[in-house]
C-alpha cells in the first residue's frame, strides 16, 4: 500500500443492472465504469474531464463510499472503500454542483454552523472557519442572509464552503461550477486553488465537463468517456501530444454542400470538423503541417465558399478529446442521450 497516495484504483468497474420490475429479469446492463486505474498523490488537484454519462459521478460515489464497485478495488486515504468505509468518511467531504442543499429558513452562517456541528467541530473554531472561508470565497456580506434568498450562484458558493469547513484530507467536488456565471465560476476556482496553496497536503478531485476548468485549474486531468479513462496527464503534457499538428479555425460563408469528409480526403488534412453557425459555418482543421492549408483553400474556392476569418491556434483540451474520441465532447454527449431508454 502506498500511503502517499490519496486515491488509488485498480481495474475499477461498475455495471448498473436495470431489472424488469415485475419479473425481476435483467433487462439491460449499463457499463458505467470499466477498468479504471488511477493513482492520485496527496496534494494534487486532480480533474476528471468527460461528457454527460461518462461515469464521473459514478466514480465519485464509489470513492466516497456511497456506491459499491462491481469489479476491481479502490483505496481512499489508504483505506479500502468497500471494507473500511467508516475509516474513510471522517477524512473526506463532497460537494455536488447544482444541489439545493441547506435549510432555506436558516441563514448562511446558521446553515454552515449546523453542518459543522454534525462533524463535531467546536463552536468557536466553526465560527472562525465559517467567517474565513466566506471571506475567501466572497460571500462574507451574505453571512446573515437566509439561504433561500440566495441566488443559485451564491448558494453554490455556500455549498462549496460547506465542503471545506471540515478541513477534509480529500475533497470531492462533482461539477462544482455547474450552471454558474463566469464570475462566480472564477471565484470558486480561485477559492479551490488558494485553499490548496494554504493546505498543500490536502487533495481535491473534481469532475467537470468544462475544458477550460480542467485546463486552468487542475494539476493533472483524466479524460474519461463511456466509463473508460482514455488519457491521464498534466494539461500541458496532454496538449503537447498535438503540438506537431497545425490547428486552424476558419470562419466561412455557407458551406455549399462542403463536408468534413470531403476536406479530410485532401492529403495532409488529419481532421476537419464543420459546425454550422449563424449565417455560415466554422471549420476546425487539424493539418499535419501548415503546408496543407493552400489545398484546403483551393477546395473552398472551387465550391465558392468564402473565408471570412482564419486563425492559427494552440491546441486545447478539446482537441485532445477529439483526438482520443474522434468527435467533439458536445457530440459525445448527444450520443448518450440517444442511448437512453
Ligand X SMILES: Nc1ncnc2c1ncn2[C@@H]1O[C@H](COP(=O)(O)OP(=O)(O)OP(=O)(O)O)[C@@H](O)[C@H]1O
Interacting residues with Mg ion (CB under 5 A): 56-57
Q: How far is the CB of 314 from ligand X (least distance, A)?
A: 26
209 is an interface residue for ligand X by CB under 6 A: yes
Q: Which is nearer to ligand X, 91 or 335 (CB)?
A: 335
C-alpha cell at 106: 436558516
- Residue 50's binding partner, choosing from Mg ion, ligand X, none, with beta-carbon cut-off 5 to 8 A by kind? ligand X
Where are any strands of DSSP class E within the chain?
5-19, 26-41, 45-49, 71-76, 79-80, 92-96, 170-174, 203-208, 220-225, 228-233, 246-252, 269-277, 280-287, 307-313
Q: Which is nearer to ligand X, 174 or 215 (CB)?
A: 174
55 is an interface residue for ligand X by CB under 6 A: yes
Q: Choose the stretch contacting ligand X; rule: CB under 6 A; options: 45-53, 108-116, 160-168, 312-320.
A: 45-53
Among 16, 151, 183, 243, binds ligand X (CB under 6 A): 16
∠ CA(214), CA(216), CA(221), 5° rounding? 35
Contact of 62 with 70, CB cutoff 8 Å: no
233-238: which pairs have CB atoms within 8 A and are 24 or more residues apart? 235/317, 238/317, 238/320
- Short-list 140, 153, 141, 132, CA closest to 195: 132
Q: Which is nearer to Mg ion, 101 or 301 (CB)?
A: 101
Q: Which is nearer to ligand X, 32 or 272 (CB)?
A: 32
Q: How far is the CB of 67 from Mg ion (least distance, A)?
A: 12
C-alpha cell at 150: 440566495
Q: Which is nearer to ligand X, 34 or 316 (CB)?
A: 34
Q: Which is nearer to ligand X, 64 or 286 (CB)?
A: 64
Among 6, 7, 32, 62, binds ligand X (CB under 6 A): 32
Q: How far is the CB of 160 from ligand X (least distance, A)?
A: 18
13 is an interface residue for ligand X by CB under 6 A: no
- Short-list 116, 112, 120, 198, CA closest to 159: 112
Of 176-195, binders to ligand X (CB under 6 A) are none
DSSP, residue by residue, 214-258: HHHH-SEEEEEETTEEEEEE-HHHHHHTTTTSEEEEEEES--TT-
∠ CA(243), CA(246), CA(250), 5° rounding? 135
Determine the size of the site formed for ligand X (CB under 6 A).
Answer: 13
Tell me which H or E stretch contains 337.
helix 329-339
97 is an interface residue for ligand X by CB under 6 A: no
34 is an interface residue for ligand X by CB under 6 A: no
Q: Which is nearer to ligand X, 75 or 209 (CB)?
A: 209
Residues at the contact surface with ligand X, assessed by CB under 6 A: 16, 18, 30, 32, 50, 52-58, 209
Amino acid at each position: 500500500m502506498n500511503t502517499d497516495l490519496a486515491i488509488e484504483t485498480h481495474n475499477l468497474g461498475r455495471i448498473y443492472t436495470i431489472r424488469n420490475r415485475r419479473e425481476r429479469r435483467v433487462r439491460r446492463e449499463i457499463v458505467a465504469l470499466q477498468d479504471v486505474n488511477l493513482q492520485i498523490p496527496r496534494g494534487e488537484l486532480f480533474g476528471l474531464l468527460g461528457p454527460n454519462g461518462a461515469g464521473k459521478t459514478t466514480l465519485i460515489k464509489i470513492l466516497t463510499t456511497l456506491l459499491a464497485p462491481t469489479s476491481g478495488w479502490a483505496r481512499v486515504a489508504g483505506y479500502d472503500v468497500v471494507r473500511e468505509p467508516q475509516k474513510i468518511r471522517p477524512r473526506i467531504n463532497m460537494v455536488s454542483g447544482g444541489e439545493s442543499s441547506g435549510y432555506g429558513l436558516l441563514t448562511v452562517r446558521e446553515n454552515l454552523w449546523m453542518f459543522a456541528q454534525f462533524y463535531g467541530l467546536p463552536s468557536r473554531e466553526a465560527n472562525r472557519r465559517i467567517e474565513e472561508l466566506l471571506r475567501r470565497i466572497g460571500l462574507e456580506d451574505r453571512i446573515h442572509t437566509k439561504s433561500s434568498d440566495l441566488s443559485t450562484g451564491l448558494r453554490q458558493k455556500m455549498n462549496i464552503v460547506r465542503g471545506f469547513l471540515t478541513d477534509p484530507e480529500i475533497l470531492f467536488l462533482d461539477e462544482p461550477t455547474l450552471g454558474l456565471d463566469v464570475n462566480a465560476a472564477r471565484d470558486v476556482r480561485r477559492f479551490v486553488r488558494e485553499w490548496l496553496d494554504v493546505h498543500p497536503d490536502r487533495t481535491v478531485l473534481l469532475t467537470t465537463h468544462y475544458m477550460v476548468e480542467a485546463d486552468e485549474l487542475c494539476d493533472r486531468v483524466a479524460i474519461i468517456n463511456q466509463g473508460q479513462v482514455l488519457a491521464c496527464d498534466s494539461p500541458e503534457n496532454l496538449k503537447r501530444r498535438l503540438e506537431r499538428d497545425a490547428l486552424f479555425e476558419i470562419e466561412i460563408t455557407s458551406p455549399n454542400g462542403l463536408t468534413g469528409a470531403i476536406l479530410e480526403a485532401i492529403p495532409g488534412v488529419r481532421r476537419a470538423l464543420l459546425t454550422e453557425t449563424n449565417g455560415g459555418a466554422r471549420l476546425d482543421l487539424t493539418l499535419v503541417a501548415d503546408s496543407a492549408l493552400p489545398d484546403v483553400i483551393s477546395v473552398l474556392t472551387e465550391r465558392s465558399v468564402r473565408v471570412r476569418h482564419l486563425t492559427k491556434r494552440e491546441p486545447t483540451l478539446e482537441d485532445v478529446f477529439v483526438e482520443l474520441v474522434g468527435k467533439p465532447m458536445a457530440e459525445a454527449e448527444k450520443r448518450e442521450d440517444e442511448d437512453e431508454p
